[in-house]
């Protein structure tokens, strides 16, 4: 019996439903079969059970829409079946329901409405309206957005499970709306729609050193919603927010801020406020506020509650305070079930670490990260609605009665929130500390991918730092299906650049007073992240959409470089957080900042040239190739010696020269040897900051020093990747020594215990250590090339590619041999490069090889490192 079947039919980029945000969405599907060497010959796509389009060829990822353009609010079913190159035909896939989530031109009608009489600045509140439904409803879709954050209810029920909607975007240029199917919530007769909301990012004050300010020009939030009703008789109706809605500064949420936290008062609950028949006569009419841009459909999965973590330990601190330890540094908030006297206040303070046994709040800077719960006198269930915290520990004061472990576990749960991306990467090896490092990277990404790619989730920052995601994006694309998430963020990148003459600044959305300046490795996110989306997901549309952004960034760099083609005399972050940088001067690194800047000019110019070739722009490709070559020669002339030394004789300098292909093959090897020597002289301690860390292991491996890369990975002394693990870290730290060996927090004013940048080494662990890498865009061809290192006896990786699950790994057989296994998904191939053998190609299926272990000398002894 045939095992051929089509699974995971997908529409565009999202994994949480088949949503079309354009009239011509792309389609993808996965093929599963137990057969080997399977290739697709053609595919059929069936729309609504009857209309069939045939697609010739082997492509099954991001296939162009083969039917007439979709209409707004359209609903269809999709099925796919495939025919193999051998002629075998699969059954039809399970049908998926596709929904158009875009509106037609001019169809956005909802006014942005806010409170007429807010009680404070900014003030959370409730708005509502009622409407009649006189016919049977065939479909109902709610389109809603906010200058702030909100949840919508219809007839007393939340419309979905998303939180912090609509997320954070560059509001002045782009704002997104949800498009939620609420058919099941609408009833014939009288209905009500309500929205609870707070200021969120829109009214937050951004900035450092006590100079924070509001950026978006408003001190009060507002919301907008329109409900499209389609009746069974074919007619339709729209219920939209406007001046006839009513609102009040009411509800459980008294105050709310991203950094400060929330005050919740259970006595202020308003039963029935979003149900029909509620008496809102005492609520004034709303005020209408300006909505400067037309909302567009959300591209990415929303923020959701993704996990719950129980209390692990109840600690009494030396000062007598009660602190809950959840055993994991996470991002979210606490859900509390409690009974106590009316008006009593429970205070929850959050932090990532303990210092000398007490809650370590100094790294939070101006963020209060505090929630206050005011009891009603009955049984209350609290969970903050419009804020989040980065924490492992929570200090509890005001609890009614004793709070022992049993009570805490029954009453208090940590609710993890984040953008609800699909997990796609898993790694495991023989070294438990490395496995924990990998999990720390996963948790760091899980916490910092919250609407935008943030730098940290706990202090008065939580911004979309471009340098952090630039270095981490390959790892992000491995661990989770982050295509939709990053493609969404890149639209803000392009909008911010267009407003800044091509400059991509420090953070996106850009909210810093001086954040719109160019800086190497930060602004290069404009070229690197779209390239990653193409290489890892096969997302050619992302490359095409971002190409003007990519090009404008390099054009700006060419302008800054001038005739010398060197990026000189300007502010740079450089190799940020070099382990030798003083606590109060994180940009002071061993490698000169202008060496970093010049190398990135070459790199970005090459990435634009590569994109131009892919997009069939040969003239552009030739121009940017020439830019890159002129900049490369200038870099070599200015910063290197004929003998192959770099003026800054530091690990990052040589790693850039090798990884960015700045030198010829002979010099490359000389520099690789020098890099290995520098690492040995440092006793295999890391010597790189944000720029060098993601590339040093590759630079060593590519120049024949995988043994040194392995020793670097396995080092446990400070500074090293595993030092934090030995100190009990459950996420990746911002500094190599965010906590000092004596348990004291680093004295610098910028110290986070959940920063993903240094976790970029995980990508090397997948690609090189386990040997699972893409050899063609979207993993259409894999590269199976494990690199075993001393100190590790087995390593394996599993990655859910756009074509299906791929695996690669190896294990020392104990007799001088290496056992290598791989799984190649259907409709793909792999190039196999095993130790001691010439590369060759294989087709899909399960593979196993036995080769000589390159770490074993001829006499059977382990080779020296």
Q: Name the token pair of 388.
A: 């989040």
Distance of alpha carbon 764 from alpha carbon 427, whole angstroms: 11
> Helix (H, G, I), strand (E, B), or coil: what is residue 196?
strand
Beta-carbon contacts of residue 6 (< 8 Å; ≥ 6 apart): 29, 30, 31, 32, 80, 81, 82, 90, 91, 92, 93
Report how far residue 611's alpha carbon sits from residue 310's, in angstroms, rounded to the nearest whole number. Answer: 47
* d(C-alpha 403, C-alpha 78), whole Å: 53
For residue 425, give both structure tokens: 């990467």
3-state secondary structure 53-64: EEEECCCCCCEC
Indicate if 308 belongs to the active site. Answer: no
Q: Which residues contact 525 (CB under 8 A, 6 or more apart)?
A: 466, 467, 469, 470, 473, 493, 504
Lookup: tokens for 223: 């919301």
Nearest Cα to 221, choosing from 185, 188, 175, 265? Answer: 175
Q: How far apart are CA 243 and CA 232, in angstroms?
A: 30
CA distance readout (Å), 610 to 5, 81, 274, 530, 536: 36, 34, 54, 12, 15
What distance in Å separates the CA atoms of residue 317 and residue 190, rounded to the nearest whole number? 55
**Alpha helix segments (H runs only) across 703-824:** 706-714, 721-726, 761-764
- The token pair at 854 is 């390159």
Residues in CB range of 281: below 8 A, 6 or more apart:
none
How many residues does the structure list for the chain?
Answer: 865
Helix axes 483-498, 525-537, angle to 10 degrees: 150
301/90 Cα distance (integer angstroms)? 30
Burial of 289 (0-12, 13-18, 19+ CB in 10 A): middle
- Strand-pair category, 370-374 with 261-265: parallel
DSSP 802: T
> Structure tokens of 230?
């389609």
Inter-CA distances, 206 with 202, 469, 528, Å: 10, 20, 27
Query: What residues contact 854, with CB distance under 8 A and at least 6 apart?
Result: 788, 818, 835, 836, 863
Q: What is the CA radius of gyration of the chain?
A: 28
Which run of H or of E encompasses 443?
helix 432-448
Is 461 annotated as catalytic?
A: yes
Of the residues 352, 496, 734, 807, which is catalytic? 734
Q: How far apart are CA 565 and CA 563, in angstroms?
A: 5
CB count within 10 Å of CB 275 equals 18
| Beta strand spans in 189-299 (E) | 189-198, 205-206, 213-214, 222-231, 236-240, 246-248, 253-257, 261-265, 287-289, 296-297
Burial of 213 (C-beta count, 10 Å sphere; 0-12/13-18/19+): exposed
Quick check: helix, strand or coil at residue 337? strand
Compute the Cα dihedral for 100, 102, 107, 108 and give only its sign.
positive
Spatial CA neighbour of 324 closest among 268, 381, 278, 393: 393
H-type helices in 171-258, by residue range?
A: 200-203
Q: Which of 79, 262, 395, 461 is catalytic?
A: 461
User: Measured at the alpha carbon of residue 844, what is the angle toward residues 843 and 849, in degrees to the nearest 5?
Assistant: 75
The Cβ of residue 841 has, within 10 Å, a number of other Cβ atoms equal to 10
Known catalytic residues? 461, 734
């Amino acid at each position: 019996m045939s095992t051929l079947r089509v699974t995971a039919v997908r529409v565009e980029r999202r994994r949480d439903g088949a949503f079309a945000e354009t009239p011509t969405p792309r389609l993808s599907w996965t093929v599963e079969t137990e057969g080997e060497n399977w290739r697709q010959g053609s595919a059929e796509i069936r729309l609504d059970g009857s209309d069939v389009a045939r697609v010739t060829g082997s492509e099954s990822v991001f296939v162009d829409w083969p039917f007439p353009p979709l209409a707004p609010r359209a609903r269809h079913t999709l099925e796919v079946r495939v025919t193999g190159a051998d002629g075998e035909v699969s059954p039809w896939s399970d049908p998926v329901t596709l929904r158009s989530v875009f509106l037609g031109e001019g169809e956005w009608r909802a006014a942005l409405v806010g409170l007429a009489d807010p009680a404070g600045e900014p003030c959370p509140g409730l708005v509502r309206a009622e409407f009649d439904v006189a016919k049977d409803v065939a479909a109902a879709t709610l389109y809603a957005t906010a200058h702030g954050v909100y949840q919508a209810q219809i007839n007393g029920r939340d419309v979905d499970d998303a939180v912090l909607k609509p997320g954070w975007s560059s509001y002045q240029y782009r704002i997104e709306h949800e498009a939620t199917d609420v058919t099941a919530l609408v009833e014939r007769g009288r209905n009500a729609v309500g929205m609870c909301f707070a200021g969120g990012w829109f009214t937050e004050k951004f900035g450092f050193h006590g100079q924070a300010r509001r950026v978006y020009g408003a001190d009060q939030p507002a919301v907008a919603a329109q409900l499209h009703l389609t009746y069974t008789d074919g007619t339709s109706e729209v219920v939209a927010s406007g001046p006839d809605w009513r609102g009040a500064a009411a509800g459980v949420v008294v105050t709310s801020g991203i950094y400060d936290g929330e005050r919740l008062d259970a006595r202020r609950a308003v039963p029935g406020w979003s149900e029909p028949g509620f008496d809102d006569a005492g609520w004034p009419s709303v005020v209408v506020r300006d909505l400067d841009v037309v909302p567009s459909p959300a591209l990415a999965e929303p923020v959701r509650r993704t996990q719950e973590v129980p209390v692990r330990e109840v600690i009494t601190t030396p000062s007598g305070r009660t602190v809950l330890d959840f055993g994991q540094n996470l991002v979210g908030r606490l859900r509390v079930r409690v009974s106590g006297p009316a008006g009593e206040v429970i205070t929850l303070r959050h932090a990532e670490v303990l210092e000398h046994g007490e809650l370590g709040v100094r790294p939070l800077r101006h963020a209060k990260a505090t929630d206050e719960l005011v009891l009603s006198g009955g049984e209350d269930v609290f969970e903050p609605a419009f804020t989040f915290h980065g924490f492992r520990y929570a200090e509890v004061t005001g609890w009614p009665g004793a709070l022992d472990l049993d009570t805490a576990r029954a009453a208090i749960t940590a609710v993890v929130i984040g953008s609800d991306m699909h997990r796609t990467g898993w790694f495991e090896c023989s070294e438990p500390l490395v496995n924990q490092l990998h999990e720390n990277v996963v948790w760091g990404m899980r916490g910092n991918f919250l609407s935008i790619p943030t730098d940290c989730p706990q202090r008065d920052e939580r911004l979309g730092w471009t340098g952090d995601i630039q270095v981490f994006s390959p790892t992000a694309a491995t661990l989770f299906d982050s295509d939709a998430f990053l493609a969404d963020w890149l639209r803000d990148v392009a909008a911010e650049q267009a407003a800044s003459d091509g400059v991509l600044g420090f953070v996106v959305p850009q909210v810093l007073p001086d954040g719109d300046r160019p800086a190497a490795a930060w602004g290069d996110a404009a070229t690197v992240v779209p390239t990653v989306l193409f290489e890892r997901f096969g997302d050619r549309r992302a490359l095409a959409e971002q190409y003007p952004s990519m090009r404008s960034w390099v054009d700006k760099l060419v302008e800054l470089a001038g005739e010398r083609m060197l990026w000189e005399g300007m502010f740079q972050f450089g190799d940020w957080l070099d382990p030798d940088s003083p606590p109060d001067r994180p940009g002071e690194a061993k490698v000169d900042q202008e060496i970093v800047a010049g190398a990135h000019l070459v790199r970005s110019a090459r990435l634009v040239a590569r994109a131009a070739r892919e997009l069939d722009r040969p003239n552009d490709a030739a121009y940017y190739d020439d830019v890159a070559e002129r900049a490369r020669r200038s870099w070599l002339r200015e910063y290197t010696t004929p003998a192959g030394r770099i003026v800054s004789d530091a690990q990052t300098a040589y790693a850039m020269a090798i990884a960015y292909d700045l030198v010829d093959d002979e010099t490359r090897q000389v520099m690789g040897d020098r890099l290995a020597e520098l690492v040995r002289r440092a006793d295999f301690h890391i010597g790189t900051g944000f720029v060098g860390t993601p590339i040093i292991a590759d630079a060593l491996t590519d120049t024949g020093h995988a043994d040194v890369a392995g020793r670097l990975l396995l080092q446990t002394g400070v500074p090293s990747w595993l030092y934090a693990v030995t100190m009990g870290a459950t996420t990746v730290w911002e500094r190599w020594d965010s906590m000092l060996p004596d348990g004291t927090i680093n004295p610098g004013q910028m110290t986070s215990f959940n920063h993903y940048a240094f976790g970029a080494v995980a990508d090397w662990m997948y690609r090189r250590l386990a040997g699972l890498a893409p050899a063609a865009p979207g993993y259409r061809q894999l590269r199976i090339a494990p690199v075993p290192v001393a100190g590790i006896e087995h390593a394996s990786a599993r990655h859910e590619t756009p074509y299906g699950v791929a695996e690669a790994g190896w294990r020392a057989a104990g007799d001088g041999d290496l056992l290598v296994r791989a799984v190649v998904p259907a409709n793909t191939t792999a190039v196999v490069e095993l130790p001691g053998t010439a590369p060759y190609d294989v087709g899909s299926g399960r593979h196993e090889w036995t080769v000589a272990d390159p770490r074993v000398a001829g006499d059977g002894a382990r080779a020296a490192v």
